[in-house]
A and B are shown apart, each in its own frame.
Chain A
Amino acid sequence: MSVEFCGLELAHPVLNGSGTFDLIAAARVFGEEVREYFPFSAYVSKTITLQPRTGNPPPRLWEAPAGLVNSIGLPNKGLDGYMAEDLPLLSGLRTTASDGAPAAVPVITNVMGASAEELTHLVQACDARPEIAAIELNVSCPNVRTGLDIGSDPAQLEAVVRAVRPATRKPLIVKLTPNTADVALCAQGAERGGADAVSLINTLRAMALSPGRPGEHWLGGGTGGLSGPAIRAIALAQVAAVAARVTIPVIGMGGVQTAAHARELLDVGATLIAVGTESFRDPAAGTRIASGLQALSAA
């Protein structure tokens, strides 16, 4: 079940979605053995920004029908803090390959910036670190100049990716936003700009109101993003549409809870799949889904 992805040899097709698994916290809670039996075949970091961010004021979560609205606000230590404090702790992870042998887990660092210049700076810094195998761009960020989410407009996305591309020879993945008119056009823009792969879907913009307080936002950040099984059918449609229109690999995600759900995304053209919200309910969901996929393919 090993998979080749942009020159990386991965033990199985199951990654974590950015921002849905904190290895450093998990090692504190479950012990260091998490590093030896990591659920995912590559570790995608949470989003790193140039400057540190504390994140949004609480409340940050709302339970939706079959899903979760979150408004976390990308808390992180900033580029310097991540490189100095976190990255050294993310290296040396191992997962279990389908033959039972331990396999190395490469680190994919996810970065977000409000301009091509800021993203270029972040990507250059990632390029310089051998512990980072690939870079994922979070383009669900308003452009400081246009105010548009960078990833919501195909031409803007193409221009940003084209500007950032020369900063690294490492695999460059663009995490597409579903909050756009035509995600496949955006994927094509990313491909034309030089992306090596695209990942989707990010959360769908959503909101919740405070019970008993008409019209008042519940989430401290105002609006948030919906994830979980509630969005699975949308993810399937978007992944299928993108896979049909680009030649680069696609990482599919959105509401995956079982190997059968993962198999569907692979069947419509994804090369890899990612698990996010389901890991909140079951921290070993990645392992369960990877071994389930193995069983499905053997059947």
Chain B
Amino acid sequence: MSLAPFARRLLTVTGMDELGTYRVLRVADPDTLEPAPGQFAMLTAAEHWGGGEQERPFLPRAFSIARRSDGESHFLLEDVGPGTRRLCELRTGDRLWALGPLGTGFIAPPAQRRAILVGGGVGIAPLAILQDTLVTKATVLLGFRDRGRAEGAALLDGASLATDDGSVGHAGLVTELLAEELARDPGAVVYACGPAGMLEGVRALCEHLQVPAQLALEAGMACGFGACYGCVVPRRGGGYLRVCVEGPVIDAAELDGVDAHAGAPA
């Protein structure tokens, strides 16, 4: 896990690439500490942040760092609200504020154990940088709503796909692909990020099969560095975990469940 500089950094957009329904935001960030896979950044457009739908956005938005390449940081975006919409509008040369890298990262699997990466929708982002850094070949299982979103799978290598509408790959849930893989190799270690329903499916399956799983969670978040106490999820045994500092990557054994209710501001 890397420490973040104690200040937001004003960064310049170097590109905005289309990836089906998604966008890949690239920013020049040569001086950042190399993030651990799973760490995230809080992003704010330097101009016109606010004044959109319902006079939002106001807070910065949390995004997993999807990739580091040639001094650039990459983020995977989907336009689902005023904050993500404004970020999707950014063009080369525009500037944005970034704070990070923040939070916990994935812990690499023990030697001789296969990593299975399970992603859903825009939540595939941290699995890309994880795949980049793993020294052994991982199995990649990705689920999407439809064909346009399934194009996001290009962010990773060699993914097996599932779609809700059956337009690409397995018609059904990515957790069904995971169940098949774990039946073949119960010694694997699972790394997952995606919507709460998918994460809960992964968590319950891995608990049942006693397979270790690391889940990258999302939650409504104001600060990203443990100050606001807004982004909590219930911890097994009582109390709460702050997704920003005790997560976003949390050992599935720490959770009784992943609640679909506490979504992030979009």
A residues with a Cβ closer than 8 A to B are 19-22, 24-26, 28-31, 33-34, 37, 54-55, 57-68, 70, 72, 75, 228-229, 277, 279-284
Contact = CB atoms under 8 A, between A and B. Distances in A.
The 4 closest A-B pairs by CB, nearest first: A25-B226, A65-B55, A280-B223, A61-B230
Given A29-B102, A54-B239, A67-B58, A282 B226 contact: no
Given A29-B3, A228-B58, A58 B227 contact: no
18 contacts: A22-B226, A22-B227, A29-B4, A29-B225, A30-B4, A54-B240, A58-B219, A58-B220, A58-B261, A58-B262, A63-B265, A65-B55, A70-B222, A72-B230, A279-B223, A280-B59, A281-B60, A281-B223
Nearest to A28: B245
A25 B6 contact: no
Nearest to A29: B225
B226 A72 contact: no
B24 to A, nearest CB: 25
B97 to A, nearest CB: 8
Contacts of B245: 25, 28-29
B91 interface: no
A103 to B, nearest CB: 18
A19 B227 CA distance: 7
B111 interface: no
Contact of B259 (A22, A58, A64): A58
A248 B242 CA distance: 38
A280 B59 CA distance: 8
Given A58-B231, A283-B7, 17 more contacts: A20-B228, A25-B226, A25-B242, A26-B226, A26-B227, A29-B3, A29-B4, A30-B6, A30-B225, A54-B238, A58-B219, A58-B261, A59-B261, A59-B262, A63-B56, A63-B59, A281-B44
Interface residues of B, number: 43
Contacts of A284: 6-8
Main DSSP-derived SS at the B contact region: loop
B228 A63 contact: no
Interface in B187-231: 219-223, 225-231
Interface of B: 3-8, 44, 50, 54-60, 97, 99, 102, 219-223, 225-234, 238-240, 242, 245, 259, 261-263, 265
Contacts of B261: 58-59
B128 to A, nearest CB: 23
B160 to A, nearest CB: 33
Contacts of B265: 61-63
B58 A64 contact: yes
A61 B262 CA distance: 9
Contacts of B222: 61, 68, 70, 277, 280
B227 A279 contact: yes
B29 to A, nearest CB: 17
Contacts of B59: 63, 68, 280-281
A56 B36 CA distance: 31
Nearest to A52: B239
Contacts of A228: 58
A25 B242 CA distance: 10
Contacts of A279: 223, 227
Contacts of B8: 281-284
A66 B50 contact: yes
A146 to B, nearest CB: 28
Contacts of A282: 7-8, 97, 99
Nearest to A59: B262
Contacts of B6: 26, 30-31, 33-34, 37, 283-284
B197 to A, nearest CB: 16
Nearest to A57: B234
A230 B222 CA distance: 16
A283 B98 CA distance: 11
A284 B60 CA distance: 15
A143 to B, nearest CB: 25
